[in-house]
């Protein structure tokens, strides 16, 4: 994150961005313990995406959350909000101690984000398949008002089963919205198992390209690769909408959760909690080979 | 309409009834609107669906927030009249109603006041979750416009009927539900909607409704309009049923009955004050709506009456469409079938006046 007036010529601090990804994971574990349940693995797959977006890429001003020129972010996979709230608190959108109310009666922070209650949330989400349409509306709004902000929509791969996503994809290309970015968290898992077994979404690149989008595909846990993908985006007056397919691993960063459908929602207690916190603090290890 | 079509019409209906539906998709009709006549032979001048685009274009001339979306029905709802004058603020999303409503919500989050229009059956049933989750819950000032509502699509059948929309929309929190009575009333509603803070569902007829209002009425969203005073019975009607209710009241007056008619154009939030004062004044309430009687206007009024602790008995009936699928038929024949025309309303009212 930087203020939109701030020049962009500094080198990214990769160690800091990786540290913030660890912070996103550990805060998710901490908040899930307050609720007694949480979407750990859906956040772990996007920790580097959130870190690179919010601590480097986006044009935002936490002191002015409604700045009409700010970049827009739609967390279409709203169940990952538990990992976004700590980022917004860390950036100064609200007092971080408020997070201690997470999911308690009357808290602004539910499992899915509410734009009317949480500063920094650009649109409420939770029902999968809606976010890209919201993004199309925001991108059209930018065009109508001659504003140069970019709209980013973060979707899960299994979410692409929803038909409305493709209605939105069609319309984004038809309306020439090069100021719209769909970031696909291709973590390969839905609730019932591997996306390819439940309802396959590949070939993703070809599907988006055939809908008129320009597509990049990157390792979604590789911080420099993500930054390079953002840098490669054309200017916002471009007419082809932009997709970044981020190949990720659901549960990345905690070995027992990687590729596991059993941790879509879970609750870590006792020694497990401490062990997971220690594993997260140690940083990403190479992935284990999978059968 | 071909001759073959008219041979399949129910007994007692005429060739004109069939032509009543010829205009639905292209918005002009083979017969030409200037010559349009309703099934009982009266001139049809007020065309609510057709002032929709023109009125919004006028509003957009002075209000940069106004944008219009439709789903391949720009001619049916006359959004084309808006598109001609404000092409940059008109978005046709094709046959993708869910996308239309959610895109409208995204636009609303950027400060626009989007009007998203399609047939009521698709707006309210197909787009129900988008209306709830993307418009009402985040308090986006989206105006979802469901036109050709109720049974006004006649022989196009159940897929194109929307008797359920009022009942469904009424249960969504922070959604204002309003019905247009006629062309002038629709203009008033569109104007009043611009600064209304909540998401709205605007229910329009088929563009053949006859005039109730000679000029654009003064109105406040959430407040009923007394279109006829009376002391023997109050007819509380909405949308397309206000006009036949008025005609019923007129014919009852000729027989010595003093019947009041309220235009309850806001279904949610209901004007409970108007309901209770009407019940106290006349002691008899008849609700009339072109909607399923389960959870529509009549239910809302009944809830209000039963919970009010009104210190007097009130005769009450609700007239509408029963909770069953509607047979195929020209609109005028269907209104007669359900007693939703002036004659039917008169008959029910008389039973209550005995």
User: What confidence tens digit (pLDDT) does each residue in A46-78 have?
Assistant: 999 999 999 999 999 999 999 999 999 999 999
B208 and B140 in contact (C-beta within 8 Å)? no
* A143: in domain: yes
Nearest CB neighbour to B93, from listed A115, A142, A171: A171
**Contact at CB, A138 and B107, closer than 8 angstroms:** yes
Supply B347's token pair: 């008959």
CB atoms within 10 A of CB B209: 28
pLDDT of amino acid A291:
54
Q: State pLDDT tens for residues A194-231.
A: 999 999 999 999 999 999 999 999 999 999 999 999 99
* A111: in domain: yes
**Contact at CB, A137 and B105, closer than 8 angstroms:** yes
Closest C-alpha among A88, A81, A26, A33 to residue A55: A88
pLDDT of amino acid A48:
98
* Positive or negative: CA dihedral B207, B344, B238, B254: positive
* A291: in domain: no
What domain range includes position A250?
15-281
Residue in chain B lying closest to A149 (CA): B110
- Residue numbers in A near B102 (CB within 8 A): 130, 133-134, 137, 164, 168
Q: State pLDDT tens for residues B103-127.
A: 999 999 999 999 999 999 999 999 9
pLDDT of amino acid B209:
76
Q: State pLDDT tens for residues B265-314.
A: 999 999 999 999 999 999 999 999 999 999 999 999 999 999 987 778 99
What is the set of domains in chain B, with CATH numbers?
48-203 (3.40.50.970), 225-353 (3.40.50.920)
Instruction: Tell me the pLDDT band of A263, cut-offs 50, 70 and 90.
Output: confident
pTM of the predicted model as reported, rounded to 2 decimal places:
0.92
Q: Which residues pair with B92 in a beta bridge?
A: B70
Count: domains in chain A? 1
pLDDT of amino acid B142:
98
pLDDT of amino acid B312:
85
Instruction: Name which residue leads in pLDDT, A286 or B43.
Output: A286
pLDDT of amino acid B61:
98
Q: Which element (helix H / strand E) includes B317?
A: strand B315-321
Instruction: Tell me the pLDDT band of B14, cut-offs 50, 70 and 90.
Output: very low
- Residue numbers in A near B88 (CB within 8 A): 144
Closest C-alpha among A104, A141, A151 to residue B140: A141
Q: State pLDDT tens for residues B46-84.
A: 445 579 999 999 999 999 999 999 999 999 999 999 999
Instruction: Name which residue leads in pLDDT, A8 or B263.
Output: B263
**Contact at CB, A133 and B89, closer than 8 angstroms:** no
Instruction: Name which residue leads in pLDDT, B18 or B156.
Output: B156
B259 and B281 in contact (C-beta within 8 Å)? no
* A8: in domain: no
Nearest CB neighbour to A144, from listed B89, B96, B104: B89
Closest C-alpha among B256, B265, B212, B213 to residue B233: B256
Is residue B4 scored above 80 in pLDDT?
no
Mean pLDDT of A18-39: 96
Average confidence score pLDDT of chain B: 89
* A238: in domain: yes
* A10: in domain: no
Q: What is the ipTM of this complex?
A: 0.95
What is the residue-wise DSSP string for B113-132?
Answer: EEEEEEEHIIIIIITHHHII
Average confidence score pLDDT of chain A: 95
B201 and B177 in contact (C-beta within 8 Å)? yes
Task: Chain B: give the shortest CA distance to residue A119, in Å.
Answer: 13
B168 and B256 in contact (C-beta within 8 Å)? no
- Residue numbers in B near A145 (CB within 8 A): 110-111
Supply B20's token pair: 């009543």
Instruction: Name which residue leads in pLDDT, B41 or B211.
Output: B211
In chain B, residues 58-87 whose CB comes closer than 8 Å to chain A = 67
pLDDT of amino acid A199:
97
Separation CA A258–CA A27 (nearest Å)? 18
* A289: in domain: no
Return the CATH number at A90.
Answer: 3.40.50.970
pLDDT of amino acid B17:
46
Q: For the CA atoms of B248, B254, B257, B263, what is the dihedral angle to 10 degrees?
A: 30
Q: Which element (helix H / strand E) includes B288?
A: strand B284-292
A→B interface, C-beta within 8 Å:
68, 74, 114-116, 122-124, 126-127, 130, 133-142, 144-145, 163-164, 167-168, 170-171, 174-175
**Contact at CB, B99 and A145, closer than 8 angstroms:** no
* A46: in domain: yes
Closest C-alpha among B285, B274, B272 to residue B318: B285
Task: Chain B: give the shortest CA distance to residue A161, in Å.
Answer: 15
Instruction: Tell me the pLDDT band of A13, cut-offs 50, 70 and 90.
Output: very high
Side-by-side strand order, sheet with A214-219: A72-75, A151-156, A180-186, A242-247, A214-219
**Cα diameter, chain B:** 59
Give the range among A182-186, A258-262, A286-290, B282-286 with minimum mean pLDDT: A286-290
């Amino acid at each position: 994150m930087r203020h939109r007036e701030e020049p962009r010529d500094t080198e990214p601090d990769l160690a800091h961005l990786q540290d913030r990804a660890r912070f996103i994971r550990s805060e998710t574990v901490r908040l899930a313990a307050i609720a007694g349940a949480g979407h750990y693995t859906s956040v772990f797959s996007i920790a580097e995406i959130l870190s690179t977006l919010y601590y480097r890429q986006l044009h935002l001003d936490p002191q002015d959350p409604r700045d009409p020129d700010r970049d827009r972010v739609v967390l279409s996979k709203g169940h990952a909000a538990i990992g976004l709230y700590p980022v917004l608190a860390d950036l100064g959108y609200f007092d971080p101690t408020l997070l201690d109310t997470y999911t308690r009666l009357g808290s602004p922070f539910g499992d899915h984000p509410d734009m009317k209650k949480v500063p920094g949330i650009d649109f409420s989400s939770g029902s999968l398949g809606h976010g890209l349409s919201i993004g199309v509306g925001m991108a059209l709004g930018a065009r109508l008002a001659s504003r140069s902000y970019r709209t980013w929509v973060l979707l899960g791969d299994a979410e692409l089963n929803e038909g409305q996503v493709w209605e939105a994809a069609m319309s984004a290309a038809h309306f020439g919205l090069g100021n719209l970015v769909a970031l696909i968290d291709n973590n390969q898992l839905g609730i019932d198992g591997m996306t390819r077994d439940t309802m396959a979404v590949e070939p993703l690149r070809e599907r988006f390209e055939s809908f008129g989008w320009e597509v990049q595909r990157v390792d979604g846990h590789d911080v420099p690769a993500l930054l390079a993908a953002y840098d490669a985006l054309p200017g916002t007056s471009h007419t082809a909408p932009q997709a970044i397919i981020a190949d990720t691993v659901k549960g990345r960063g905690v070995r027992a959760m990687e590729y596991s459908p059993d941790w879509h929602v879970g609750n870590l207690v006792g020694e497990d909690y401490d062990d997971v916190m220690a594993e997260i603090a140690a940083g990403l290890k190479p992935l284990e080979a999978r059968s | 309409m071909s001759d073959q079509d008219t041979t399949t019409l129910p007994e007692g209906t005429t060739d004109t009834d069939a032509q009543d539906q010829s205009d639905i998709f292209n918005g002009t009709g083979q017969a030409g609107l200037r010559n349009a006549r309703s099934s009982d032979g009266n001139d049809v001048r007020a065309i609510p669906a057709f002032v929709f685009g023109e009125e919004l274009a006028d509003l957009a001339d002075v209000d940069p927030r106004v944008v219009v979306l439709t789903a391949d029905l720009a001619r049916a709802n006359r959004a084309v009249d808006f598109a001609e004058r404000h092409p940059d603020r008109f978005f046709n999303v094709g046959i993708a109603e869910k996308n239309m409503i959610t895109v409208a919500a995204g636009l609303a989050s950027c400060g626009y006041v989007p009007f998203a229009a399609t047939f009521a059956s698709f707006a309210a049933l197909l787009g129900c979750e988008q209306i709830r989750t993307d418009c009402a819950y985040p308090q986006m000032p989206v105006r979802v416009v469901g036109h050709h509502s109720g049974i006004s699509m006649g022989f196009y059948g159940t897929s194109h009927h929307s008797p359920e929309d009022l009942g469904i929309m009424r249960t969504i929190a922070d959604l204002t539900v309003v019905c247009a009575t006629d062309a002038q009333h629709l203009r008033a509603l569109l104007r009043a909607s611009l600064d209304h803070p909540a998401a709205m569902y605007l229910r329009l007829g088929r563009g053949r409704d006859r005039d109730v209002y000679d000029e654009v009425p003064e109105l406040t969203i959430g407040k009923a309009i007394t279109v006829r005073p009376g002391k023997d019975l109050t007819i509380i009607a909405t949308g397309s049923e206000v006009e036949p209710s008025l005609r019923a009241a007129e014919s009852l007056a000729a027989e010595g009955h003093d019947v009041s008619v309220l235009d309850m154009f806001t279904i949610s939030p209901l004007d409970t004050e108007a309901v209770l004062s009407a019940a106290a004044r006349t002691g008899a309430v008849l609700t009339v709506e072109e909607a399923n009687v389960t959870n529509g206007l009549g239910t809302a009024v009944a809830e209000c009456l039963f919970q009010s602790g009104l210190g007097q008995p009130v005769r009450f009936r609700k007239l509408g469409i029963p909770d069953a699928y509607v047979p195929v038929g020209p609109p005028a024949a269907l209104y007669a079938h359900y007693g939703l025309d002036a004659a039917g309303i008169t008959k029910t009212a008389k039973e209550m006046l005995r």
